[in-house]
Amino acid sequence: MIDIKKFDEIKKTSAKSFNEQKALIKKVMAGRVIQCNTCGTTIKLVLPEQSESPGLYCSKGCTDITLDFEL
């Protein structure tokens, strides 16, 4: 049987992570310079014209958020 308290904790953690990623995406797409929390390098926005896998990436690969773009 599933433990409701553990499920609620997972749900809260997932929602927090989602909201943090959403805020990060907004900041980078607005032109702000944001550093990777893990390695400290600048997170770059890669557009569909630049690569087949657009998204947000740091140079070391710690931050790796693939985005879907509609053209």
Digit-coded pLDDT (tens) for 30-39: 999 999 999 9
pLDDT one-digit tens code per residue, 41-67:
999 999 999 988 999 999 999 999 999
Contacts of 65 (CB under 8 A, 6+ apart): 21, 24, 25, 55, 56, 57
| Contact between residue 55 and residue 69 where contact means Cβ atoms under 8 Å apart | no
How does the average pLDDT of the chain come out, rounded?
A: 92
pLDDT category of residue 70 using cuts at 50, 70 and 90: confident
The model's pTM: 0.81
Task: Delimit the domains of the chain by residue range.
Answer: 4-66
Task: Specify the pLDDT at position 1.
Answer: 66
